[in-house]
Structure 1
Amino acid sequence: MSRMKPTRNLMLVLCPMLVLGFLYYSSGRLHLHLRVWGQKSQTEMDNVFAVGRVVASVYDKQGFLLKLDGKLPLDLMYKYGNLSKGACKQGFAAAKMTAIYPKFTKPAPMFLDPNFKRLTKISSYLPPFGIKTQERIIDVILSETQNYGLGSELDSLSCTKCIIIGNGGILSNKSLGSVIDEYDVVIRLNEAPVSGYEKDVGYKTTMRITYPEGAIQKPEHYEKDSIFVFSAFKPLDFKWLRHMVFRERLRATEGFWKSVARSVPREPNEMRILNPYFIQEAAFQFIGLPLNNGVMGRGNIPTLGTVAITMALHNCDEVSVAGFGYDMNTPHAPLHYYEKVKMSAIKESWTHNIAKEKEFLQKLVKAGVIQDLTNGI
C-alpha cells in the first residue's frame, strides 16, 4: 500500500491541473459561441466567468461586444468579401449590427401605416417613445396622407444605400456634396439648409425629419421633391401635424418651447410619421438613457440624428453619416455649418446626454456598422 501513495499523490496533483487546463482552453474559445447566446438574459451575457479570480466580461451593460473592430466575421466575409468595389451590400448594416449586438432584430417599419396598432413595442408608451393616447388622431392623419413608404422607385430597390446628414460645423469646406448625392436615400434633419451650401452638403434630399419646433418656417426654403417626415416628442405635436396635413390655420402655439412653422408646403401624400420605436430603441436599448417611467425627462432623449441612424439600421442595407460629432474641447467652434452658434451652446440642452450618445455612435463606427465621411464621431 505504501508504494501506491506516490502515484495517488501524483494523480491528486495532475487532475486539478488537467481540469484547469481544459477550462483555460475552453475560455479562450468562448467568444466563438457567444452569438448563440443572443437569446439569453442580459445578466448571463454580461458575466462570463473564467478560471480563478479573472472575470471576463464580453458584453458591455447595453449588450454590445466590448472588443470591437472593423473586421468582418467569417460568415460575413464569405458573403460580402468578393463583391466588386462600390457594389451595394444587401443586408450589410443589419448583419454587422447583429454581430456586435445580438439582440438586434431588423423588422421595424420606417413610417407608421394604418396598421400601426399592431406595433406592440410602441403601444404602451406616450410620445416620444410611443403612440399611447394618440391613436385616434394618428388614424385621422394617416387616412389623409395615404402613403407610407419612400415611393415606388425607392421601395422597389433590392439594396439601398442611405446617408444621414448631420448639421455639424464639421461639414464646412469638406466638398462632399457630389459624394452625398450618389446615395440612394439622403436624409436631412430639421431646418438645415441646402441652398447656398451645395458644395459641402449636396443637392439631393430624399426626406427631411423634423418636429414642430425644428421645422423650416419659410416655405420657400423647402426642397421641391423631398418627403416631410414628422417625429413627435409630445402629444401636442400630433395636433400641429394635423393642422399641417389638413392645411388648417394654426391659432395657438402654447406648449411649444419656441416658435413653430405655420404651414408646410407639402401635399398630404408627401408627409410621413416616423415610427417612434426608433426613439425608444435609441434611448433605452442602444444608449442606455434613464427610462423615467417611459416619460420624456432630463437627459433621456436622443438627438434626432441618432434617431435617424437607428431608423436607417433597420431599413437600409448600407448606412453612412456626415456632419456628426460635437467636440466639446473646442467650445468656440461653430456648432452648425449654416450659422454662427458656438459649440458651447449644446451644453444648455437638458434633454440630451451628448457624452453617452457619442459612446454609442463610436461603437457603430469602430465596428464598421456605419461609415463616418467627416470623421467627427
Structure 2
Amino acid sequence: MKPTHKLLFVLCPMLVLGFIYYSSGKLHLHVWGQKPRWICVLMCCLFCVCLCFFPVYDKQGFLLKLDTKLPPELAYKYGNLSEGVCKPGYAAAKMTTIYPKFMKPAPMFLDRNFKRLAKVSNYLPPFGFKTQERIIDSILTATKNYGLGEELDSLSCKRCIIVGNGGILANKSLGSRIDEYDVVVRLNEAPVSGYGRDVGTKTTIRITYPEGAIQKPENYEKDSLFVFSAFKPLDFKWLRQMVFKEKLRGTEGFWKSVAHYVPREPSEMRILNPYFIQEAAFQFIGLPFNNGLMGKGNIPTLGTVAITMALHNCDEVAVAGFGYDMSMPHAPLHYYETVKMSAIKESWTHNISKEKEFLRKLVKANVITDLTNGI
C-alpha cells in the first residue's frame, strides 16, 4: 500500500466518525462565538476523498460503481493484445476487480477426489453432494474421464460461450459467430438441428438435469459431453441408471417425465461441480440460505449456474439468448417453440429479477459479453 493510501486508511475512519458526529449537532466548536462552517465543508471534502480512495461495495460484495474501463494493471496486461486474440485469465481478473472475494480455482466437473471439496461436502443437493458420496463414486468409476477432453484441456486460453434458450436468439444470424468459440455450452433440451443459422451447430457440453434432458435419443448431437447437474438426491439415482444403461425405475419423485435413455458412453458423461449452484445462489445473487436446503426462491437458473462455472474455468466468457423482456408479452419465450413471453408465471424455485441484477453487473463491467444484448 502506498504511503498516501496508508495515511488515508488511518484518517478516513476518523474523518467519517467526526463528520457524522459533527453533523448530528453534538460537536459545537466556537470561534469568536460562531460555529465555523468551514470545518464542516472541509470534513465533507475529506469524506468524499475517502470514498474515492476506498471503493464502496454492495451487500453481496460487488463494486457499486461499475464500468468497462480496465484497471491500470489489466490495461497493461491486455491492452497490447491484438483484437480477437484470446486473453488469458481475463474473465477471472475482471471478476476480481468488481468482486474481490472471487477465488478462481474450482474444478468444472467432479473427479475421483471430489470428497476433498470442502465447500460442497457438507451440503445436500443441489448445493453439495452430502449423502450421495457412494453413488457418485460408482458413477465416476464408470465414466473414468473428468475434463473437457485432451484437446480442450491442453489449451492455454479458452473462449467459452453459454447459449441460452431465449427467443431473443431468433433471426439474429449468430450461428457462425457462436461456433467460433472453443467451448459452446448449451442447456437442457434446446435443439440445434434446424436452427443452426441463429444458434450455431457446435456443442461442446450440454448441461442438464433429469427433467430437462432430451428425451428422444435421435435429437442428441454428436461429439458433445453430457453434463449432469443434480438438484435433488433422486437425480443421482437417475444418472446412475443412465450411465450403466439400466432400465429406469423409481420416477415418482420427478416433477415431469424424464429421459429413459441417454445415447452417450460413460466416458462422455460428467457431473457438474455443485459448488457453482451454491456460489451463484448465496454469494453472487444473494438468494435465501434456508439452512442450506432447497426452498422457495433460492435456486439459480441453469443458465446462471453455467455462467458461474465459466467464470472459474474459461479465460473469456460470452453469452447469447439470455434475458426475458416482460414488456413484450407476445414475443417468443424460446427460440424453438411458439410459447409466448406472457406464459412466464411467478417461479417457486427461481428469483429472475435478482438473477438479472447479478448478470447485469457482469455485463456492465465487461466481465462477460452479451451477444444478443438481452440482459
- TM-score, length of structure 2 as denominator length: 0.89
Deviation at 1:19, TM superposition (A): 9.3
Partner of 1:118: 116
Q: Please, which of 26, 32, 42 is the counterpart of residue 21 of structure 1?
A: 42
Q: Deviations over 1:86-145 (max 9, x none)?
A: 011110000110100111110110000010111111011100000010011000000000
2:336 alignment partner AA: Y
Deviation at 1:74, TM superposition (A): 1.0
What SS does the corresponding residue of 1:347 show, helix, strand or coil?
Answer: coil
What SS does the corresponding residue of 2:97 show, helix, strand or coil?
Answer: helix
1:28 alignment partner AA: V
The change in CA–CA distance for 1:279 and 1:21 in structure 2 (over 3 A counts) is same
Instruction: Summarize the alignment of residues 70-81 of structure 1 with structure 2, pairs less than 5 Å apart.
Output: 70-81=68-79
Q: Please, which of 200, 210, 228 is the counterpart of residue 212 of structure 1?
A: 210
Select between 303-312 and 340-349 the one with higher mean Cα deviation.
340-349
Q: Please, which of 67, 84, 87 is the counterpart of residue 86 of structure 1?
A: 84
Deviation at 1:25, TM superposition (A): 3.6
What SS does the corresponding residue of 2:362 show, helix, strand or coil?
Answer: helix
Q: Please, which of 299, 307, 313 is the counterpart of residue 297 of structure 2?
A: 299
Partner of 1:224: 222
- TM-score, length of structure 1 as denominator length: 0.88
Q: Please, which of 335, 339, 353 is the counterpart of residue 333 of structure 2?
A: 335
Q: Please, which of 254, 261, 264 is the counterpart of residue 263 of structure 1?
A: 261
- Structure 2 CA distance, aligned partners of 1:304 and 1:371? 18
1:167 alignment partner AA: N
Partner of 2:24: none
Q: Please, which of 89, 104, 117 is the counterpart of residue 102 of structure 2?
A: 104
1:212 alignment partner AA: P
Gaps of 5+ in 2: 1-29
Percent of pairs with identical residues: 78
How many residue pairs end up in the alignment?
347
Q: Does 1:135 align with 2:133?
A: yes
Q: Does 1:282 align with 2:280?
A: yes
1:304 alignment partner AA: L
Partner of 1:233: 231
- Structure 1 CA distance, aligned partners of 2:244 and 2:292? 30
Partner of 2:7: none
The change in CA–CA distance for 1:13 and 1:91 in structure 2 (over 3 A counts) is farther
- Structure 2 CA distance, aligned partners of 1:302 and 1:247? 30
2:165 alignment partner AA: N
What SS does the corresponding residue of 2:333 show, helix, strand or coil?
Answer: coil
Deviation at 1:23, TM superposition (A): 7.2
Give runs of ≥4 in structure 1 deviating > 2 Å.
9-27, 29-34
- Structure 2 CA distance, aligned partners of 1:69 and 1:181? 28
1:342 alignment partner AA: K
2:42 alignment partner AA: G
Partner of 1:39: none
The change in CA–CA distance for 1:230 and 1:30 in structure 2 (over 3 A counts) is same
2:315 alignment partner AA: D
Deviation at 1:10, TM superposition (A): 6.5
- Structure 2 CA distance, aligned partners of 1:12 and 1:118? 69
Deviation at 1:20, TM superposition (A): 6.7
What SS does the corresponding residue of 2:344 show, helix, strand or coil?
Answer: helix
2:238 alignment partner AA: W
Deviation at 1:323, TM superposition (A): 0.2
1:24 alignment partner AA: C
Partner of 1:176: 174
- Structure 2 CA distance, aligned partners of 1:369 and 1:275? 22
Select between 25-34 and 90-99 the one with higher mean Cα deviation.
25-34
What SS does the corresponding residue of 2:74 show, helix, strand or coil?
Answer: helix
- Structure 2 CA distance, aligned partners of 1:11 and 1:18? 14
2:174 alignment partner AA: L
Gaps of 5+ in 1: 1-8, 35-57
What SS does the corresponding residue of 1:229 show, helix, strand or coil?
Answer: strand
The change in CA–CA distance for 1:11 and 1:202 in structure 2 (over 3 A counts) is farther
- Structure 2 CA distance, aligned partners of 1:32 and 1:203? 48
Q: Deviations over 1:317-376 (max 9, x none)?
A: 000000000111222211100011121222242111111110000010001000000000
Deviation at 1:22, TM superposition (A): 6.9
- Structure 1 CA distance, aligned partners of 2:321 and 2:174? 10
The change in CA–CA distance for 1:22 and 1:231 in structure 2 (over 3 A counts) is same
Partner of 2:307: 309
- Structure 2 CA distance, aligned partners of 1:135 and 1:24? 58
- Superposed CA RMSD in Å reads 1.9
- Structure 2 CA distance, aligned partners of 1:12 and 1:286? 53
Partner of 1:45: none
- Structure 2 CA distance, aligned partners of 1:361 and 1:60? 15
